[in-house]
Structure 1
Amino acid sequence: MNDNTKPKETTLSFEKIKQDVLRPMQTHRGLELWIVFLIAVIAVCGWAYYVQLRDGLGVTGMRDYVSWGLYIANFVFFVAVSLVGMLISSILGLLKVDWIAPISRIAEIIAVAFVAVAGLVIVLDMGRPDRLLNVFIHGRFQSPILWDVTVVTTYLVISLLLLILPMIPDLAICKKEMTNASPLLKKVYSILSFGYTNTPQQHKHLHRMVRTLMVLIVPVGLAIHTVTSWLFAATLRNGWDTTIFGPYFVAGAFVAGAAGLVIAMYFFRVNYKLQDYLTDLHFDKMGKLMVAVCLVYIYFNVNEFLVPGYKMKSGDNTHLKELFLGSWAIMFWASQLLGNIIPVILMVNKRFRKPLPLMIISLFVLASAWFKRYVIVIPTMLHPHLPIQNVPDNFKHYFPTPIEIAIIVLSFALALLIMTVLAKIFPVVPICEIAEKEGIDYKIED
């Protein structure tokens, strides 16, 4: 490990690491109140979904022309944030970047929560969700929808395995140390620890399985956002008819995922009192990583608009003028400036890569990422090739209804609930891996 990447000196011991990581799981009452609040939000917003099921998609602002609205924009956003698991645990893990050890599990928790809810968001967009099974029974290989369902499901499964398998040594510790846990939770720890006692053979096999999954998830992670981009790019609509959408979506996903991870890191650092593990160094490194992925994303943004702007076909002319100067200009430029350009200018300065400033910057980046997906979806559908004639006025515009907004809030609350529950029952920082990185010897008794 190089001197410039070496963590600050601490007085860590194996007992201290166990106490620091396991304590919030047992005594954090604020977390329980947060769970109650999220359940209440889900219950209230669930009523909005019941209304949509009862009355149909007519309760939304979507019509014949804008048939994709808030839900699909939200789906693309959720898929984007979930890619942080592949970026941190797999790409940087395979490159043997040491500083990711304390944050890789948080990245996987985010990945599992957001990709799981991304699948549900698609169901929320269906007028007849009872027909979802037909995708699996009668799906056609020619359909990008089938590809999307396949890669989302595969990514979820591998992300779950990448969350649980590296956690097996810690779960063996939880089985012994979490004496106040409920009988059901103790049973979960006992089952998922698989009798692990950290023998050399067990350690070798576990390490090999994790490395295999880290390799497998890279093409799946790239495919999940590439296939999502194909759902757009396979059409001839102005704004979507481009071959650059695959890498463009992946680059944007890295930006959104990195920002979401920084926010989660700050939350756990402050509320779980994990300053010895989620250090200033980790925020500094994440700030540098965000600069890198933002620069790549800026490059693809320039390519996305420069080429059609140079050719300026009639349809692209209308679309780009609306984005740059028309009714979408404020949202478009705000997402570009607050989500890419200004954050890069700030984060090249080390003072803004401290925990609190970086967290605030990440909030703007993440919010801008959501609005960027909204700008990708809606304006294009408002500019069809054929003129809009002899239709009601509300067909010519799209405004999300309170029902849609409530259902979107439901999806966010559900993702946060999954993250919170996982953080409540599982260690968010890897105990054994931190001990190994610090050169601390430890034993796990059955």
Structure 2
Amino acid sequence: MRHITLLALLLLGSPIVAADSAVSFRSDIAPILLEHCLACHGAKKAEGGYRVDNYDELLKPGDSGELPIGKTKDEPSELLRRLTCDESERMPAESEPLTAEQITRFKQWIESGAVFDGEASHTPLDLVIPSRTYADPPQSYRHAIPITATAFSPDGTQIVAAGYHELTIWDPTQKKLVRRIKNVGQRVLALAFTPDGKTLAVGCGEPGKSGEVRLLDFASGEIKNVIARTTDVVLDVAFRPHSDELAVASADSMIRIYNTQSLEEIRVIASHADWVTAVAWSDDGNRLASASRDKSVKVYDGTTAELLATYLGHGAAVRGVAFLADGKQVISSGGDNKLHRWNIEGAKKVAEIGFGGEAFKLIRGDNFVLVPCADKRLLRIDLGNNTIAQEFKGHTDWVISAALKPTEAEPQVVSGSLNGEVRLWKLADGVLLQAWIAKP
């Protein structure tokens, strides 16, 4: 008789979820809410006064006063009704309805008690969902990919480069691929080591779909934790000096601050109107700066997140930002092909340096800053006299990333370009040491 019932369900086209297969909030319900509901029912925007950004909020009535989830199996659940009603009230609004299988999952979860199976019911959806295991990257690439992020290993002997769902680790003396760290997001756009060099924060994601920071043990390549999961790609990360705090900039226009030991989300800054492309801390960690595609640069109190200054002098998307050593001035760069130097007090510009193309993330050194440019150059700007002191030439495509070697014995800089080339230079005189296409 059971086989006849299953066959009838198949013929009717009904989705089948085994009765003894428990529906998990973390694995089954939260991902649907995150993808289809959060944009209109989150903390920042709550249509109808209803939020779904965590389990606790999901249970609270919106402006209608109707219980989203009935307290008993027989009590009506407004959430389920809105998922299945006609188009005038159906959710999600102005988009495709949930599939029959997704609705069945919701129905079974509610009928089984709408249980929360995570650790803390107030945890945001992006942290409740089990972290994803990505498919392995291709054994060899058919084409080189843009080097959107690069870094020196803490001992300065290796170079880390962004790959496709991976990081590629190179011995620059032989231009040799020595290992690959897999299981990271599709695109890697930011890299930052903890002060002890043991943990690497990898800002990554798939544009328009997902973003996250993976904290990995650099020696073993093991993924230790995943934080800052969101609905769009992570564009930058920066560790607060003398702290375990990490600032995360995302294309969802948010800045998130996390404690990388406790994994606690300390605060969210929602001050920009578009992608947050870069973040930087002052040397003492007391202030945080952010750059955005909304054409603004902002400075906040590092502890309270109080907005201290907004600079609007670029008139174009801003891609890079850094504090000067005294913490009183900021430098920023972007789509207007200029480096701006300005005082935090009053947000007034004091100098500007023009380039031949759009500028990207800034790398500040001792009284200088490195600027990757779309005019195929990496520039060294002398902050003592606000002039271009050095040009690293030779790339045949946009230079989009760079990093300084952390050791002082032989100062070096690495640059990565849009066509997949990595170049290693002497910092002192700009002599090219090595160049290769970072393609497995």
TM-score (norm. length: structure 1): 0.23
Give the helix-richer structure, 1 or 2: 1
Higher share of residues assigned strand:
2
Q: Which has the larger radius of gyration?
A: 2
